[in-house]
Amino acid sequence: MMRYLLNIVFVCCLVSSAFAQTRVVAECTVSFAIRVNNESQIDKDAVALLKQSSKTVYIKGNNSRSDLTSPSFSQSLIYNKANGNAVILREIGANKFLTKIEAAKWLKQNEKFSDMLIQFTEEKKQILGYDCKHAVMQLKDGSTFSVYYASTITPSVREFEYQFKDIPGFVLEYEAKDGYTQKITYTATKINFNPVSAAKFEIPTTGYRLLND
């Protein structure tokens, strides 16, 4: 009996230690640089535009906001983990558009990421002082992309980038496709843990044209 109890205590200690090593980040701002791979495969104007673009992610409790900005276009995705709803704000020149996405539709839109296979590799790299682990993700259509994540921190909201919801850490670098054959790499260049203003997650009630999803 004593050995049985000692085994339970040992297992509990291991579990507690594993959780203690990962800190949930509920307030942060992360800036990402964008790098275009295989530039020769797309037109020069598209490359120039992407090089001038930037991405910023804001996390506050159950709320997240992801801003993608360029000289001629900007898009913000505001996601509420509590109700699963999302809002997309787009600005093209002087035109502003707002799209509301209910939780059921959000899941439907991200259905391609369901049952995704994640292969964890031995590769590692340092990003912003964090030892990041590597994983390769394979979608149901056979396409793959890779991520590097800091295993010692994890965001309080993951579902706003649905493909990363099962990654056990904070994704600080990842690949994405923009509709061309080449891939684009997003790499975190700065992470700030100061409180984020609640105004970042307020949904505009005027100035935007409402679009149906």
144-201: pLDDT as tens digits = 889 999 999 999 999 989 999 999 999 999 997 654 456 789 999 999 999 999 999 9
In a domain, 210, yes or no: no
In a domain, 207, yes or no: no
In a domain, 200, yes or no: no
In a domain, 81, yes or no: yes
pLDDT band for position 11 (cuts 50, 70, 90) = very low
Q: What percent of the chain has pLDDT over 70?
A: 81
In a domain, 14, yes or no: no
In this predicted structure, the answer to whether residue 8 has a pLDDT above a threshold of 50 is no
In a domain, 148, yes or no: yes
In a domain, 11, yes or no: no
Distances (CA, A) of 95 to 49, 72, 75, 82: 19, 11, 12, 30
Domain coverage including residue 107: 23-194
In a domain, 146, yes or no: yes
Q: What is the CATH number of the domain that holds 104?
A: 2.50.20
Please give the tally of structural domains in the chain. 1
Nearest Cα neighbor of 134 from 192, 142, 126 is 126
